[in-house]
Structure 1
Amino acid sequence: MLQTWTMWLWAKATRLLVLTTYKPNVTHLYNQVTLKPGQRLYMVNQLYPYTVKFTEETSTPRPVGEESKSLKRPNQMSEDPAKKVSTTSHTDHHRITDGSPPPKKTPEACSDKSESAGHWSQGLKASMQDPQMQLYKDDRVVVIKDKYPKARYHWLVLPWESISSLKVLRSEHCDLLKHMQCVGDRMVQQCPDAHKLRFRLGYHAIPSMSHVHLHVISQEFDSPCLKNKKHWNSFTTDYFIESEDVVAMLEHHGKVTVKEGMSELLKLPLRCHVCRKEQSTIPKLKEHLKSHIS
């Protein structure tokens, strides 16, 4: 009888579980063991799953020295004492859990994560697919509202064809860019304020956003999103290349040439694009621009 009882106990204790304890007391289903901080508990059981509950005696306060050491331990667990440590196999990695299985990753969650992990410069590719952003589309291009407009009217004309930048444009893209310009002109014609506002159509020499896009922007620059010198100079200096000039370069040279030192244009003093009078700050510039708005 004793031998049978011993064999039963041994069979019940054949699953290996190695735990680094962080509480002084561990309560098992059948007994309670008092452990010191950092002491390891070895249990064996291959037939039945083990559930180990960590408890802490409040009647016996821990020495101050031990508490400070525990706080400095980099891998110290901060789970609630009622949390359980469970394992399903002696080859599984141990994890802290509240008894419920980990949530499964859905395809939607994965896609959201990958999209959010994408660089912000790729944002145009997502915006051009958003029906709420689209103002016009055909089989070659789509027009969207600029998320951070620098004027009352600021639209972007983008080709469905994947074209990363002006540098990769070639002569075969001439028809596409002419179509983009025609669509931009059509947007201006349909604008209710077209009779009193001036518009420009063009490209940034060194755009911050990937995917070629044509800016269609009104020239009063009345927008809270226009906040700094870089914003202003990117639309009012040679950094902004007219659409006709880009098409002409493709027709004559088969490529678009961006001059050296274009980025330095963004550092130029603030000057009114109408009278060329220099202004010291953006607020003063905006106040000055009101004199040119009829």
Structure 2
Amino acid sequence: MWLWAKATRLLVLTTYKPNVTHLYNQVTVKPGQRLYMVNQLYPYTVKFTEETSTARPAGEESKSSKRPYQMSEDPAKKVSTSHTDHHRITDGSPPLKKTPAACSDKSESASHWSQGLKVSMQDPQMQLYKDDRVVVIKDKYPKARYHWLVLPWESISSLKVLRSEHCDLLKHMQRVGERMVQQCPDAHKLRFRLGYHAIPSMSHVHLHVISQEFDSPCLKNKKHWNSFTTDYFIESEDVVAMLELHGKVTVKEGMSELLKLPLRCHVCRKEQPTIPKLKEHLKAHIS
């Protein structure tokens, strides 16, 4: 017997006789019959009562119908469903997923990948340089041979919250980034850029210091490429200039659309069909 109900479960009825209230219909199922409850459109109530020779008083019938959308919580009258979670309904619906009661939204948020920089900047093994205002770490997924991040110890979530009083801090971040470039053993043959993503994926303001040969296995898709080679990448000096002139950083509308642009070489602007083709093309520009 199939009933349209609010959950996807298979109940094997054995010792108890249920009365199933489905919308305005009450159906009695005999012991030993299987009750399939599928779909998630309609509410239902299953009330289990022991099979006895004595008929139920009329008053009890009326009481049970007053709460048609609640299932009996009497532990003695529950049917075991420990093996029904593996049952797959033939309409293609996945089985219900178990949600542990102890699952904490706060713990999930704290470990969310977008908060990863706050963890990495505190890790001594990740730190390449630090002073009382900033710390420099390697990007975990570098998009070039040299890719560092300069982060302030001060908690600043994004470019949008920057104000004129942050000018000195951002200038210090730029000086530290330039010092990293000067100390790089390949600085004489590689070009570097220092800047910020208009809409960063990671929380906490961070300055990218990245070499421009883009020779890295972590550079895998169009989004990676365009985030560093279009106006989506805002030069450090331009960010400081905006703060000095306007007291805030203004991000233009439609920046996210820049990530969808065709793959173009950042040196000669020649369009390439795929990332592998682009990487092969870039070799001609690497001295």
TM-score (norm 2): 0.65
Cα deviation per residue 1:101-126 (whole Å; 9 max; x = unaligned)? 99999999999992675321111111
Percent identity over the alignment is 95
Cα deviation per residue 1:46-77 (whole Å; 9 max; x = unaligned)? 99999999999999999999999999999999
Q: Structure 2: how far apart are the matches of 1:260 and 1:51?
A: 52
- Report the count of equivalent residues: 287
Once structures 1 and 2 are overlaid, which stretch shifts more, 105-114 or 230-239?
105-114
CA contact (8 A) 1:51 1:85 kept: no
Q: Which has the larger radius of gyration?
A: 1
Q: Structure 2: how far apart are the matches of 1:9 and 1:204?
A: 54
Q: Structure 2: how far apart are the matches of 1:9 and 1:234?
A: 53
Give 1 or 2: higher helix fraction: 1
2:19 equivalent among 11, 21, 25: 25
Once structures 1 and 2 are overlaid, which stretch shifts more, 112-121 or 252-261?
112-121
Q: Structure 2: how far apart are the matches of 1:235 and 1:46?
A: 46
* Gap change, CA 1:37 and 1:104, over 3 Å in 2: closer
CA contact (8 A) 1:18 1:43 kept: no
Deviation at 1:214, TM superposition (A): 0.1
Q: What residue number does 2:251 align with?
A: 258
- Matches for 1:239-278 after TM superposition, within 5 Å: 239-278=232-271
* Gap change, CA 1:78 and 1:190, over 3 Å in 2: farther
Once structures 1 and 2 are overlaid, which stretch shifts more, 43-52 or 17-26?
43-52
Deviation at 1:26, TM superposition (A): 29
Unpaired runs of at least 5, structure 2: none
* Gap change, CA 1:149 and 1:58, over 3 Å in 2: farther
* Gap change, CA 1:156 and 1:15, over 3 Å in 2: closer
Once structures 1 and 2 are overlaid, which stretch shifts more, 25-34 or 247-256?
25-34
- 3-state SS of 2:89 partner: strand
Residue 74 in structure 1 maps to residue 56 in structure 2: no
Deviation at 1:132, TM superposition (A): 1.1
CA contact (8 A) 1:15 1:90 kept: no
* Gap change, CA 1:31 and 1:57, over 3 Å in 2: farther
CA contact (8 A) 2:89 2:95 kept: no
- 3-state SS of 1:16 partner: strand
